[in-house]
A = this chain, B = another copy of it.
């Protein structure tokens, strides 16, 4: 089964690469996509459209240019993996989860045990919760191979 998987969330660790590599080792027929994970590029995505004095508007323009990509990618994907790390607010990951839930796009959350409680609403709408990259790969392998 061919799958299109969207990887959302934490950008400061290499969890995306680990999942992609893990799936390649099993020769799974999966196409991965993602928001731009280069922090500086992402923050300046709207700069080409003109400078802004206020940080709110600079962020606003960049967030919307990035949304041009991510809305399209989420619409196209079959499944999303949503990763919450132990740093930063990561509200965009929770936003993506809510967006997927409303569109009935199934998603898997990936986070450690110590943030179960604040993520309970996000997990409640998920199809699965994983704590390790290996579990995500194993689950994608199961879905993809059958």
**A interface residues (Cβ-Cβ under 8 A, vs B):** 1, 3, 33, 36, 38, 41, 45-46, 48-50, 53, 55-57, 59-69, 71-73, 78-79, 84, 88-104, 106, 108, 113, 115-125, 127-131, 135, 138-139, 142-143, 146
Contacts and interface: CB of A to CB of B under 8 A. Distances in A.
Contact of A118 (B57, B91, B100): B91
Nearest to A57: B57
A127 B68 contact: yes
10 contacts: A1-B69, A1-B73, A59-B120, A64-B124, A67-B124, A68-B128, A88-B118, A89-B89, A90-B91, A92-B121
Nearest to A143: B69
Across the A-B interface, the 6 shortest Cβ-Cβ residue pairs: A98-B98, A102-B102, A63-B124, A94-B94, A98-B99, A95-B98
Given A56-B129, A128-B61, A121 B95 contact: yes
A66 B118 contact: no
Contact of A135 (B49, B90, B122): B49
A127 B106 CA distance: 15
A41 B95 contact: no
Contacts of A138: 48
A71 to B, nearest CB: 6
